[in-house]
Chains A and B, each alone.
Chain A
Amino acid sequence: MSIWSNLGLVYALLGAAVAVFLAGAGSAIGVGIAGQAAAGVVTEDPSKFAKVLIMQLLPGTQGIYGLLVGFITLSKVGLLGGGAAALDPQTGLLILAACMPIGIVGLISGKYQGMTSAASIGIVAKKPDQFGKAMLFPAMVETYAILALLISILAVNAVQI
């Protein structure tokens, strides 16, 4: 089985990979940025650990959304069950395109959500009682990752195999 005769499956797998690795990288960057701020707060006041940990976790969802789309894609093309469907390159490319939104938006929004989280951790450090409001700022950024996730899920689902 040469790779050229199975190009459709390659494209589909590439789509799953794009969704997982771009969105995952975005989350890793975001959680990393927020984690540095969180660690700084905990050195000063260890009792705020739980609160800043939650803040640090907020940019982590993009990676999960990427995983989600990757998983749906794999199960769609039948790679998980063992018998992969025979895909023509055109369908494969369609799936690749469907995976793009969450990959790209996940990467970018993950980074910026991380920066917003870091700033919100600053709020928690100075005014712990404003936790509810502080949590909202990173959640605003995440909205766009959710919209991208939605389109990716709907598009992957809509591709006919």
Chain B
Amino acid sequence: MAVLQMQRISICALKKDRKAILEKLQSMGVMEMNQIAEDEEGFEKMDTQGARQNFEKQAQVSEQALTVLDEYAPEKRSMLASLEGKKLVDRKRFGEVTDNKGEIISKANRLVSLNKEIAENKANILKLENQIESFRPWLALDVPMKCKGTDKVSMLLGTMPGETTMESVYVLVAKRCPEVEAIDVKIINSDKDAAYLTVFCLREEETKVEDALRSGGFARPSQVTGKVPSVKKANLEAKIKELNSEIVRIEEEIKGYAADREDLRIIGDYFRMRANKYEVLGTLPQSQRTFVISGYAAAKAVPAVQKAVGESFDCVIDVEELKEDEEPPVILENNGFSSSVEGVLGSYGLPHKGEFDPTTIMSFFYVFFFGMMLSDAAYGAIIAIACFVVLKKFPRMEAGLRKSMKMFMYCGVSTMVWGVLFGGYFGNVVDIVSGVFFGKTVTVPALWFIPLNDPMRLLVYSLAFGVVHLFVGLGIKGYMELKDGKVLDFFCDVVLWFAFLIGLLLLLIPSDIFASIAQAKIVFPPFLNMLAKVLAIGGAIGLLLMSGRESKNPALRIALGAYDIYNITGWLSDVLSYSRLLALGLATGVIASVVNQMGSMFGKGIVGVIGFIAVFVIGHVLNLAINLLGAYVHTNRLQFVEFFGKFYEGGGKPFEPFKSDTKYVDIKEETLS
């Protein structure tokens, strides 16, 4: 239960070894880079931008190739595939693949260009289809569209507005140029937008006729062809067919590369790793023959680095404690149970330098509250078993996900325990099933009590758990202040508050208000009542005088003290916030009962059983899902807002070691035997 002690390691070695040393550190993955001596004279940084970008490009190509493969030759993946984690690849296989990197990358390039060809072909098909579309109205024409006519007769081809008929064209021409005698109009096709027509006239009268037609909205077609339109269409269709078969051929070729999927993944990871290495290399200060590497590592990982690097290379390794003003990255270390909630802590913020790691204490409260909010034995068993099976089945799951799964497994167990205590098994399914189908109501007795029958009692317990939780939080604050040697702060901020709050609590318990809530009158012996008054008044006066101790002005100091006492309302609302333990617990149980009741409405018999099973499955899946979400969100809230509000700041930087940052595969390290 702690934040690991960090140290700074600096390695000064010969330039010729730099890549080998970097590779070693990368494969160990225990050091976060943080360079020093950057501005020293004689040291320069190397420009690795070009090399790095080159590697990133290669990784990009392999990634694109994989996308292409996924599109045309999808891999069969189960629903749970995302839980599998990265595949483990041994050094030998990795070496084989990287030796062939040129070949694999050319395959990747080929895949990318094939994909481009498909896209181009598809674009061409679209273009051809558009062309066919533009010739469609002219299909009935049996001469080429470019046909001008004969020596004496000319042919005008074009469109006119939709309502045009043969007569209206004759009328139009007759009106505009009555001198024209010979004219022949043929409507090839007409739809609601346009009429497609040919007009024959004497060549010498062509311009006159065309002008006349234009005044009626005549226009020549934008796309014309030297061929008869139906022939042209057949040609275009043949071309499309050709392109389509070309696409099929290319798709087949792409599918042929499906076996190279793994190679592509490995090579992508290889280039990612190299890009990563060059990025670090670019930050290293280098002199003519030497270079310096510096960074943070956990103190317990330092000997391994000293051994691995120091024994194989000529170098000087310098290990030093951190300076005052350094803010090192944070690694948490907790036992198997508590480490499962590290993700929750991480989402709030890791402890900053010198701050206490609350993970262990939080983990117990977390599991406890979670179970109380869900509180159904059957739901708990489902969650716990499901998480357990997934954990066993996918041992290579990604670490963060694995922790969350473990956390839910423990929460499931806790839910089961609370369910047994409160007598909830799918709500009241035992009562309903036995009553409806067997005619005799059997009730599984609650080990403790049934919350719905006695909600006030559970409310009191919920608030009491809340008080314990908050007091632990305040206690941790006190512990941290004592550790830092701030005894006065400890006394004023923690001891006085404890005195004040405990005094108030002791005053509250024998009072009538409490008796009406708890439905039991508690009478304290007189000395305890006296003690309560002393504690409450003493605490209040202490806070009034001491809270504003930083202020020199006595009036301001008292005002600040009074304001601090006003924080008691904050404590009240914090404690009341724990009533959600009761409310959410009731919600699960009551909705489960509603589901069971609805299921039982089909009555006895086969139909009744089938109806019941259907309603039961759907209803409980929904109820479990929504209440699981509720329990998770509100447990987090109780930790983050109420508990952490008392003592925790967070804001630490997570440890990001220089490591093999792969996407698809993990490389198995040779055992150091």
Contacts and interface: CB of A to CB of B under 8 A. Distances in A.
Contacts, number: 73
Interface stretch (A9-17, A34-42, A64-72, A103-111): A64-72
Contacts of B587: 61, 64-65, 68, 149
- Output the residue of A64, A65, A71, A157 with the most chain B CB within 10 A: A64
B212 interface: no
Contacts of A161: none
Nearest to A58: B633
Given A58-B633, A68-B586, A150-B582, A133 B594 contact: no
Interface in A97-147: 130-133, 135-136, 139-140, 142-143, 146-147
A156 B636 CA distance: 29
Q: Taking chain B's interface residues, is the majority helix, strand, or loop, or is none over half, making it mixed?
A: helix
A60 interface: yes
Interface in B630-644: 630, 633-634, 636-637, 640-641
A157 B579 contact: no
B637 A139 contact: yes
Interface in B298-354: 344, 346-348
A94 interface: no
A143 B580 contact: yes
B629 A136 contact: no
Interface string B569-597: 00000001101101110110011011001
B626 interface: yes
B534 interface: no
A84 interface: no
A150 B590 contact: no
B369 to A, nearest CB: 14
B626 A64 contact: yes
Interface residues of B, number: 31
Contact of B641 (A60, A135, A136): A136
Given A60-B626, A64-B591, A71-B594, A136 B640 contact: yes
A143 B636 contact: no
Q: Taking chain A's interface residues, is the majority helix, strand, or loop, or is none over half, making it mixed?
A: helix
A57 B626 contact: yes
A80 interface: yes
B456 interface: yes
A67 B637 contact: no
Contact of A153 (B583, B591, B597): B583
B282 interface: no
Contacts of A139: 633-634, 636-637
Contacts of B347: 130-133
B216 interface: no
28 contacts: A60-B626, A61-B630, A64-B587, A64-B626, A67-B591, A68-B587, A68-B590, A71-B594, A80-B597, A130-B347, A133-B347, A135-B636, A136-B636, A136-B637, A136-B640, A136-B641, A139-B636, A140-B637, A142-B634, A143-B580, A146-B579, A146-B634, A147-B579, A150-B459, A150-B579, A150-B583, A153-B586, A154-B459
Interface of B: 344, 346-348, 452, 455-456, 459, 576-577, 579-580, 582-584, 586-587, 590-591, 593-594, 597, 626, 629-630, 633-634, 636-637, 640-641
